[in-house]
Structure 1
Amino acid sequence: MPDYEYDLVVIGSGPAGESAAVNAIKHDKRVAIIDDKESPGGNCTHVGTIPSKALRSAVNSYLRYQENPITPELKLGQRVQYQDLLKNVSDVIKKQVSMRSRFYTRNQVRYYYGEASFISKNELRIRADGKTSNQITAKDIIIATGSRPYRPTDIDFTHQRVFDSDTILHMPFTPRRLIIYGAGVIGCEYASIFSSLGIKVDLINTRSRLLEFLDDEISDSIFYHMMNRGVTIRHQETFQSLETREDGVCLNLESGKSIRADAILWCNGRTGNTDTLNLDSVGIKANHRGQLEVDKGYQTNVENIYAVGDVVGWPSLASAAYNQGVAAADTAILGDKTHYVDDVPTGIYTIPEISSVGKTERELTAAKVPYEVGRAFFKDTARGQISGQSQGMLKILFHAHDHSILGVHCFGREATEIIHIGQAIMKQKGKANSIHYFINNTFNYPTMAEAYRIAAFNGLNRLK
């Protein structure tokens, strides 16, 4: 066998790359990570999930303070500045980088700073600051380079009033009015964040409803709450052109509408970071969005090269990426292809947030599955009343005959935490997967978990 420097090299230090590297270390392999950022964490830590969720948390804290009757002085029209909220973002990023750096030191993972590209299927070139700094060899290679916002060529993203989901984290001013083009997950998250700060938001949706992959009732709820926050939502609109000037922008739509604002945030899709990898040298082709095709073991068409995370497309979630990285390392080291990640909860960090797992009512109706619905409104829970979390709902879909849980959908504060209780029961086998669990077992009181008991009684009472 050739004497490679490393058993495994991972390109990218985000959630997928980190979990792959650490898993390989646990199997006593020689491991290295290459990343084009000087400090670890990948796009997730530096420009994606972590900073956007830290920003959302800061906005939520501001809202709680503003809505608390103990602090009426903030109701006199005082506005928080966007730049002040970004200080919290910077602090969280520093903590994440420090923690992840300790991971690599403790596990003896070699970290290379630079941009990686293939020389052959076992050789990589690393360029840092425009210069070749290293060439390394590895038995197996995992591509975990993440993604970046899609940028159409006819939009000038260098303009001071034009942003994407990366650069918006460095916006140097607080706009009075903001256009967000694209009403997917990222667009909706930022629409709720900025509207909560009192900024007028025009949300441009190319489809007929918001987040149409969600249960219809949940989709309607986020639509209502955004409208209530002052967001103007424009459905079935298509980009035509963008005019920019020193003090603002004008978005022209195919429908003939022209919308003016202080700035625009473009949130219409993402592109896999694969264009600099020199994939042609190893016979791998990316699709038009820079994504790679893999099998159930995250193996590409080249036997020793794997891909995980955003570069393989769906579900493009940090939560799934961690498991994908572990699965790819297991395939490379053990030949184990049994851990394909295909069932994950949805977490959308709007204000209020959304989370779901399993089937929607539309899907169950189309499949002609007899089901019933149990609902609990947060305003009817003791914890919701105590904490002021009156907005929100938990919804359980269960089989009308055997009472097995088919789907759980939650809208409201802490929805992404609450969902895991339902997920855990739904994943049980046989009779253990039953809505009766929430009636036959005792939960702490008062907690938001009380919503499961209320929803269970509500649903079962419909059957009587």
Structure 2
Amino acid sequence: MSSYDVIIIGSGPGGYVCAIRCAQLGLKTACVEGRETLGGTCLNVGCIPSKALLHATEMLHEAQENFGKMGIEVEAPKVDWEKMLAYKTDTIGQNTKGIEFLFKKNKVDWLKGWGSIPEPGKVKVGDEVHDAKNIIIATGSETSTLPGVEIDEKTVVSSTGALELEKIPSKMVVIGAGVIGLEMGSVFRRLGTEVTVVEYLDTITPGMDGEVQKNFHKLLKKQGLDFILGAAVQGVETSGDGSKVSYKLKKDDSEASLEADIVLVSTGRRPVTKGLGLDELGVEMTDRGQVKTDDHFATNVKGIYAIGDCITGPMLAHKAEDEGMAVAEILAGKHGHVNYEVIPSVIYTHPEVASVGRTEEALKEAGVPYKAGKFSFMGNGRAKANFAADGFVKILAHKETDRILGAHIVGPMAGDLIHELCVAMEFGAAAQDVALTCHAHPTYSEAVREAALACGDGPIHS
């Protein structure tokens, strides 16, 4: 039996970052992980492999649509699906081995196996029980499904199964128009699959800025994705030839169905807490099955903390990382903190979609006086040269103080561009501060400056 200052259960982005930070701060640290590789869902079957396929299919699109326009004459590209999956797997391996290296470098012990907490201060892994002054639950989340929809990871798949399909399907139905569904739908549409997205709500990307939703929806339809909105899925029937998705339209209660080779279920995720022994310990949970924590990530049981997807808040890898860093600082006697007002979200389609802070709808509902500065990528020289002029940058600033309250980008490299505005918001900057900052030309980032200028006297190139 070993004794530690901290044991983290789970090695996803929250868990492994927390473990490394704890070790850096001088705490004797171990991390429990039952997978064969570190990195959790994100590195193994989520963020990283999906981005590899998004990148590969985006390159395919460039070769098919834009090479000829630039004077690059090549034969029509062919897809070797097996080799593309091998590229994805290699990408996973490089990243997970990197985490293993960082554990060794920082002297974090990997306790291999699935963990449980038999009593406060104890973590059981396999047949061994380890002592820990502090225990951090970082067990992440798993795919949730709907009544009447059973995931078999063969015909009816989650994102995990979609990343391992034996062949490219000719028809796919995606249930849910959130981040995962749209990203994976985009991958297979570019590979030639006929993709139909069925969404219960009347808009895609629930919770995002309304103007972004409408613009993004149009762009995806232009790329060939079909949408059935306001539809409640009733069930999925599978057979040897594929599946049939039955749904009911909310507007008139009419019923219909779709047939597909593959059905991708992307209706959200739920916390993974089963098997930890939390009920027996008396750890309080929320109504949604999340671990209940206070402002310092502590549960009601002394010495037990929780972070990431298994607690309240957006289920984002970088949110979990921030919480992992913060709780490590707290346990080391410092002042760890997460600013939940400045956590960006990104959809890695093409074009990308990124947002941070408040939406227009939220500001209106709260009665906050605001102004919106908007600039289209059509006015950006770099974007036009690169056939990437779809979309816009939109900055929301307080009408009286000019302080930036939110930002929303649809366009090239949106997931990178958003961070200029994250930093600005973190330091309480005004839109004018961004507008008066010199931006290199020609870059996509000039569109951010122009949107900031639009919050004042107006943009230059519009």
Report the alpha carbon displacement of residue 93 of structure 1 after superposing the two structures with TM: 0.7
Query: 2-side partners of 1:227 and 1:275: how far apart?
Result: 40
Question: Residue 427 of structure 1 corresponds to which residue in structure 2?
Answer: 426
**Is 1:267 aligned to 2:266, yes or no?**
yes
Report the alpha carbon displacement of residue 452 of structure 1 after superposing the two structures with TM: 2.3
Report the alpha carbon displacement of residue 287 of structure 1 after superposing the two structures with TM: 4.8
Q: Is the 8 A contact 1:183 1:204 kept in 2?
A: yes
Question: Aligned in 2, Cα 1:23/1:193: closer, same or farther, shift over 3 Å?
Answer: same
Question: Residue 440 of structure 1 corresponds to which residue in structure 2?
Answer: 436
Please identify, of 64-73 and 182-191, the stretch whose mean Cα deviation from structure 2 is larger. 64-73
Note the 1:47-446 alignment, pairs <5 A.
47-67=45-65, 68-69=67-68, 70-71=71-72, 73=74, 80-127=79-126, 132=127, 134-152=128-146, 154-158=148-152, 160-254=154-248, 255-287=254-286, 290-334=289-333, 336=335, 338-339=337-338, 341-429=340-428, 433-446=429-442
Alpha-carbon displacement from aligned partner over 1:363-404 (angstroms, at most 9, x marks no partner):
222333333222222122121122221212111222333332
Query: 2-side partners of 1:340 and 1:403: how far apart?
Result: 20
Question: Residue 452 of structure 2 corresponds to which residue in structure 1?
Answer: 456
Question: Residue 19 of structure 1 corresponds to which residue in structure 2?
Answer: 17
Q: Is the 8 A contact 1:296 1:337 kept in 2?
A: no
Q: Is the 8 A contact 2:5 2:27 kept in 1?
A: yes
Please identify, of 153-162 and 407-416, the stretch whose mean Cα deviation from structure 2 is larger. 153-162
Alpha-carbon displacement from aligned partner over 1:280-324 (angstroms, at most 9, x marks no partner):
231124456542111111111111001111111421111111110
Report the alpha carbon displacement of residue 441 of structure 1 after superposing the two structures with TM: 2.5
Query: 1-side partners of 2:159 and 2:212: how far apart?
Result: 24
Aligned residues between the structures:
451
Letter in structure 2 aligned against 1:26: Q
Question: Aligned in 2, Cα 1:340/1:292: closer, same or farther, shift over 3 Å?
Answer: farther
Query: 1-side partners of 2:3 and 2:427: how far apart?
Result: 44
Q: Is the 8 A contact 1:292 1:300 kept in 2?
A: yes
Q: Secondary structure at the match of 1:334?
A: coil
Q: Is the 8 A contact 2:175 2:264 kept in 1?
A: yes
Letter in structure 2 aligned against 1:27: L
Query: 2-side partners of 1:341 and 1:335: how far apart?
Result: 19
Question: Aligned in 2, Cα 1:434/1:339: closer, same or farther, shift over 3 Å?
Answer: closer
Question: Residue 5 of structure 2 corresponds to which residue in structure 1?
Answer: 7
Query: 2-side partners of 1:364 and 1:289: how far apart?
Result: 26
Question: Aligned in 2, Cα 1:287/1:428: closer, same or farther, shift over 3 Å?
Answer: closer
Identity score, percent: 30
Note the 1:19-38 alignment, pairs <5 A.
19-38=17-36
Q: Is the 8 A contact 1:327 1:340 kept in 2?
A: no
Query: 1-side partners of 2:287 and 2:240: how far apart?
Result: 33
Query: 2-side partners of 1:149 and 1:367: how far apart?
Result: 33
Query: 2-side partners of 1:161 and 1:306: how far apart?
Result: 38
Query: 2-side partners of 1:28 and 1:167: how far apart?
Result: 40
Q: Secondary structure at the match of 1:142?
A: strand
Letter in structure 1 aligned against 2:412: R
Alpha-carbon displacement from aligned partner over 1:247-303 (angstroms, at most 9, x marks no partner):
211011134111101110111121212101121231124456542111111111111
Q: Is the 8 A contact 1:66 1:72 kept in 2?
A: no
After superposition, the CA RMSD in angstroms is 2.2
Question: Aligned in 2, Cα 1:391/1:81: closer, same or farther, shift over 3 Å?
Answer: farther
Alpha-carbon displacement from aligned partner over 1:47-83 (angstroms, at most 9, x marks no partner):
11111112111111211222221455566xx653544
Question: Aligned in 2, Cα 1:369/1:443: closer, same or farther, shift over 3 Å?
Answer: same
Question: Aligned in 2, Cα 1:20/1:246: closer, same or farther, shift over 3 Å?
Answer: same
Structure 1 residue runs of 5 or longer lacking an equivalent are none
Q: Is the 8 A contact 1:203 1:232 kept in 2?
A: yes
Alpha-carbon displacement from aligned partner over 1:139-179 (angstroms, at most 9, x marks no partner):
11001111111145743433631111112111111111100
Q: Is the 8 A contact 2:394 2:409 kept in 1?
A: yes
Query: 1-side partners of 2:148 and 2:328: how far apart?
Result: 40
Letter in structure 2 aligned against 1:200: E
Report the alpha carbon displacement of residue 456 of structure 1 after superposing the two structures with TM: 3.1
Query: 2-side partners of 1:221 and 1:424: how far apart?
Result: 26
Letter in structure 1 aligned against 2:102: F
Letter in structure 2 aligned against 1:416: G
Query: 2-side partners of 1:239 and 1:359: how far apart?
Result: 31
Alpha-carbon displacement from aligned partner over 1:5-60 (angstroms, at most 9, x marks no partner):
11110101111111211121122221111101122111111011111112111111
Alpha-carbon displacement from aligned partner over 1:386-445 (angstroms, at most 9, x marks no partner):
22212121112223333322221100121010111122223324xxx2222234232111
Q: Secondary structure at the match of 2:305?
A: strand
Question: Residue 46 of structure 1 corresponds to which residue in structure 2?
Answer: 44
Query: 1-side partners of 2:6 and 2:262: how far apart?
Result: 44
Q: Secondary structure at the match of 1:105?
A: helix
